[in-house]
Amino acid sequence: MKLYIKQKAFSWTDSFSVCDEQGTVCYTVKADWPRLGHQLYIYDAAGQEVGLVSEKLLTWLPVFEISKNGRTLGSVRREWSFLRPRYTVDYKDWQVQGEVFGWEYTVSSRGRQVATICKELFTWTDSYVIETAEEQDAEEVLMLVIAIDAANCKN
């Protein structure tokens, strides 16, 4: 399954539309503003909240927690590094490999590829393509990608 994330232009807050291969909006992502720290809510096509990516406050480097139904599922933590940003992903049993900052990476679990993520170049706003091996992983991969994007934007 492929999902296309496109950041909305001319928005005061982080706002994304997530479409399927036919161009149908499957999810929307909206920031809660004004607020201390990022709070990004993920809604399904029916407008029901399916997840939350929130910045943990009072940390030295950015940490974003991923929650669903009020339960924290994991986090993306920026690590101290000199040349390239490094992140620790503690989410499910997934490993993230590749160029996270350059938006070319894969998500895997126990040797099985869960998803590939790449940033589309030469677009007016940030645009990404998520390709998941299993449709049931799409929503949770989307939440992980939004958390990594938020951590990258805090640089």
CA distance 12 to 62: 21
Q: How many helices (H) and strands (E) does the chain have?
A: 1, 12
Domains of the chain (ranges plus CATH)? 2-153 (3.20.90.10)
User: For residue 146, what are its two tokens?
Assistant: 């939004």
CB contact at 8 A, 9 and 125:
yes
Residue whose token pair is 């974003």: 64
| Enclosing H/E stretch for 139 | helix 138-153
CA distance 74 to 58: 18
Query: pLDDT digits over 79-129, tens only?
Result: 777 766 677 899 999 998 887 666 788 999 999 999 999 987 665 566 789
pLDDT value of residue 57: 84
pLDDT at 12 exceeding the cut of 70: no
